[in-house]
Amino acid sequence: MELAKRVSTLTPSSTLAITAKAKELKEQGHDVIGLGAGEPDFNTPQYIIDAAVRSMEEGHTKYTPSGGLPKLKEAIIEKFKQDQGLTYTAKEIFVGTGAKHVLYTLFQALLNEGDEVIIPSPYWVSYPEQVKLAGGEPVFVEGKESNDFKLTPAQLEPVLTDRTKAIIINSPSNPTGSLYTQEELAALGEVCLKHNVLIISDEIYEKLVYDGAKHTSVAEISPQLKENTVVINGVSKSHSMTGWRIGYAAGPEALIQAMTNLASHSTSNPTTSAQYGAIAAYTEDDGSVEKMRVAFEERLHTIYDKLVAIPGVSCVKPKGAFYLFPNVEEAAALTGHETVDDFVKVLLEEEKVALVPGSGFGAPDNVRLSYATSLELLEAAIDRIFRFVEAKR
């Protein structure tokens, strides 16, 4: 069977590939520590589960409007008001089946063949693939490690062309954990306004920021920037609800309407009970979101120093999300590996620690290590990496 051209160039998710390899080794009886996970290791808070169960018992088991339940949109609007002081109407909100599919729908609604989308690297693995699937062309611009991997206006200006349609800003970032300040966003935003480039602001890790750092949405900086921005967010990471598949977009009405129309012919609506769970997530609060944040912060503090003590490893200290993105180029060379990809492969085979190679994120000298697992396992994993490097150098 001949498959469609559009899938022939798809790169499978590197995160999922390493997770599958680690699982295979585990099934063979090996004691594998997987640090590839992209999801919080906590259960969804009970009050959210209760609300979803209640909704089903009350008979809310049918289709909902395509772009989401009005009550959920109201809860999201209230969240924007509380957290960012932003005012949206229901027509400016689209709820979809997870932020990933919301982004997919956005690119399908936005891009024509050959439209360019600026993707600062290192980037989340799905951005380039989703842009390509919509006929667009990813344009990568490298965020320098010396600037916490963040893009500057001086780097942005020269890559803009008359085909540039949008830029993706992901703060806090997966995989680097970097967080843009208000000033940095304002400066990038000014360039985007000047060149009529839409800002896609992926804020899925908004609630996970550390050491007193504050998350800023580019949309809250000025009314002009709000009009020129689509904010992407969801409950997966903040409320440990990855399996529920609820994400949303807030932005210009015409774009949101187009996304809603597209969804009406693809997903119809996000799962009804999951939407009721998300309403509870945003309208009630039992302190779990903050408790999870504090747990991540503690893990970060505990393992960061141990990680950078490994010979040949350096790491920008993350300000958010739940990943570390160390540069291990020197450690790979010290241990006789030509590439970081090889280093990761042999480390998994010999020490049974699963990291994700940075090559999939556009940063071949780095690896991604998720700290969405217990402190005990994290410390054991770092000890194993230390042992691996020490033994071979």
In this structure, which amino acid lies at residue 208?
Answer: L
Q: Count the site residues for ligand PLP by CB under 6 A.
A: 13
User: Could you tell me the two tokens for 18?
Assistant: 């390493």
Query: Cβ 385 to ligand PLP, closest distance in Å?
Result: 23
Among 38, 277, 318, 357, binds ligand PLP (CB under 6 A): 38
Assess 182 for contact with ligand PLP (CB under 6 A).
Answer: no
Sheet of strand 116-121, all strands in order from the earlier edge strand to the far edge:
93-96, 247-250, 229-234, 198-202, 164-170, 116-121, 137-142
Cβ closer to ligand PLP: 204 or 250? 204
Among 67, 122, 177, 247, binds ligand PLP (CB under 6 A): 247
Cβ closer to ligand PLP: 88 or 124? 124
Query: Cβ 368 to ligand PLP, closest distance in Å?
Result: 11
* Touching ligand PLP, residues 328-387 (CB under 6 A): none
Among 129, 202, 206, 329, binds ligand PLP (CB under 6 A): 202
Closest by CA position to 114, among listed 95, 134, 97:
134
* Touching ligand PLP, residues 79-98 (CB under 6 A): 98
Which residues, including other chains, have CB under 8 Å from residue 373's CB and lie 6 or more apart? 33, 34, 35, 37, 41
Cβ closer to ligand PLP: 322 or 388? 322
Cβ closer to ligand PLP: 276 or 388? 276
Q: 137 burial class (0-12, 13-18, 19+ CB within 10 angstroms)? A: middle
Assess 124 for contact with ligand PLP (CB under 6 A).
Answer: yes
145 φ/ψ angles, rounded to the nearest 5 degrees:
-55, -35
Distance CA 382, CA 356 (A): 14
Q: Which stretch binds ligand PLP (CB under 6 A): 45-53, 191-199, 234-242, 251-259?
A: 234-242
Of all residues in the shown chain, the one whose CB is closest to ligand PLP is 98
Among 21, 100, 165, 299, binds ligand PLP (CB under 6 A): 100
Assess 276 for contact with ligand PLP (CB under 6 A).
Answer: no
Query: Cβ 387 to ligand PLP, closest distance in Å?
Result: 30
Query: Cβ 292 to ligand PLP, closest distance in Å?
Result: 15
Q: How long, in residues, is the chain?
A: 393
Assess 105 for contact with ligand PLP (CB under 6 A).
Answer: no
Assess 130 for contact with ligand PLP (CB under 6 A).
Answer: no
Query: Cβ 173 to ligand PLP, closest distance in Å?
Result: 7
Cβ closer to ligand PLP: 37 or 385? 37
Query: Cβ 389 to ligand PLP, closest distance in Å?
Result: 28
Query: Cβ 276 to ligand PLP, closest distance in Å?
Result: 17
Cβ closer to ligand PLP: 242 or 339? 242
Cβ closer to ligand PLP: 243 or 311? 243
CA–chain centroid gap for 21, Å, is: 22
Which residues, including other chains, have CB under 8 Å from residue 291's CB and lie 6 or more apart? none
Assess 203 for contact with ligand PLP (CB under 6 A).
Answer: no
Which residues, including other chains, have CB under 8 Å from residue 142's CB and lie 6 or more apart? 120, 121, 155, 362
CA angle 133, 241, 353 (to 5 degrees): 80
Q: 35 burial class (0-12, 13-18, 19+ CB within 10 angstroms)? A: buried
Assess 14 for contact with ligand PLP (CB under 6 A).
Answer: no
Cβ closer to ligand PLP: 176 or 288? 176
Contact (Cβ atoms closer than 8 angstroms) between residue 304 and residue 371: no
Among 139, 204, 218, 292, binds ligand PLP (CB under 6 A): 204
Assess 170 for contact with ligand PLP (CB under 6 A).
Answer: yes
Kindly list the residues in this chain that would bind ligand PLP in the complex (CB under 6 A). Answer: 38, 98-100, 124, 170, 174, 202, 204, 234, 236, 242, 247
